[in-house]
Amino acid sequence: MPTSQEGVKLDVTILGSSDAFCSGGHPHATYLVETRQAIVLVDCGPTVLLALKRQAVDTASIDFVVISHMHGDHFAGLPFLLLEYIWERPRTRPLLVLGPRGIRDRVWALMHALYPDIIPDTLAFTLEFIELEPERPATIADVEIYPVRVPHQDEDVSLAVRFMAGGKQLLYSGDSPWDDRFINLARGVDLFLCECTAYDEPMGRHIQWTTLKPLLPRLECRRLVLIHLGREMRAHCAELGVECATEGLKIRC
């Protein structure tokens, strides 16, 4: 039955909600974004195939991949995804991978390190890379992508990404310490997937709960879900009063 929501679709499925350590036995950072015209894999941790198949996502359905930054827990699943497309679920249609500058060389270096002996001379599908420039929007199918550089790395670029489709908006923090720009970026978005790796002890360049908690009233997003959860965070999820991600959670923005 037609509704006022017809034509609007921005669905997010949590496929992997852990930090780099698979804390609590959860897969690495991997999310699925579905719009009217595209199925997008957002980050691609080394456990990507496990994460996709546990949620019965057909690997062939993925139209393109967006990588927030080139830490292993966010992009080291790409060789396994490519392996899937070469051998297990042969792909003929193009695959597009969007990510920070240098993405193409890093992915191929990783591929050659992991499977030097079985990469075919030519792929049966076109593998195309697009470098995302901070604060320069990109549009693929009906998905508008707005990347913002976050202070998670110095040499390499780490991105938070805002996705827009059909008038709905998702903000994905990627990995980042707290950055006041998240307040503006999150204003009015339907969903903010915000990393919160640590609980009350600082852990690298990441957000910790005790930093985030007093800032919550300033986050004017419709729904906040914490992701990239470390061991201590996972242990405290039930008592926070804020939603924590777990695999299989599907959110209709």
Binding site for Zn ion (CB under 5 A): 71, 73, 175
Nearer of residues 63 and 73 to Zn ion, judged by Cβ:
73
Nearer of residues 71 and 106 to Zn ion, judged by Cβ:
71
Q: How far is the CB of 9 from Zn ion (least distance, A)?
A: 28
Sheet holding 224-227, edge to edge: 138-140, 143-150, 158-165, 168-172, 191-195, 224-227, 243-244
Question: d(Cα 126, Cα 27) in Å, to the nearest integer?
Answer: 28
Q: How far is the CB of 152 from Zn ion (least distance, A)?
A: 6
191, two tokens: 């969903």
Q: How far is the CB of 155 from Zn ion (least distance, A)?
A: 13
- In 3D space, the residue among 83, 131, 123 whose CA is nearest the CA of residue 106 turns out to be 131
* Contacts of residue 109, Cβ cutoff 8 Å, sequence gap at least 6: none
Q: How far is the CB of 207 from Zn ion (least distance, A)?
A: 11
Q: How far is the CB of 79 from Zn ion (least distance, A)?
A: 18
* Cβ burial, residue 65 (10 Å; 0-12/13-18/19+): buried
Nearer of residues 84 and 175 to Zn ion, judged by Cβ:
175
Q: How far is the CB of 135 from Zn ion (least distance, A)?
A: 20
Nearer of residues 34 and 175 to Zn ion, judged by Cβ:
175
Residues written for the chain? 253
* Contacts of residue 122, Cβ cutoff 8 Å, sequence gap at least 6: none
Q: How far is the CB of 51 from Zn ion (least distance, A)?
A: 14
Nearer of residues 52 and 229 to Zn ion, judged by Cβ:
229
Nearer of residues 71 and 162 to Zn ion, judged by Cβ:
71
Nearer of residues 75 and 85 to Zn ion, judged by Cβ:
75
* Contacts of residue 227, Cβ cutoff 8 Å, sequence gap at least 6: 14, 17, 29, 31, 173, 193, 194, 195, 196, 245
Query: What residues does 98 pair with on adjacent strands?
Result: 66, 130
Question: d(Cα 205, Cα 202) in Å, to the nearest integer?
Answer: 8
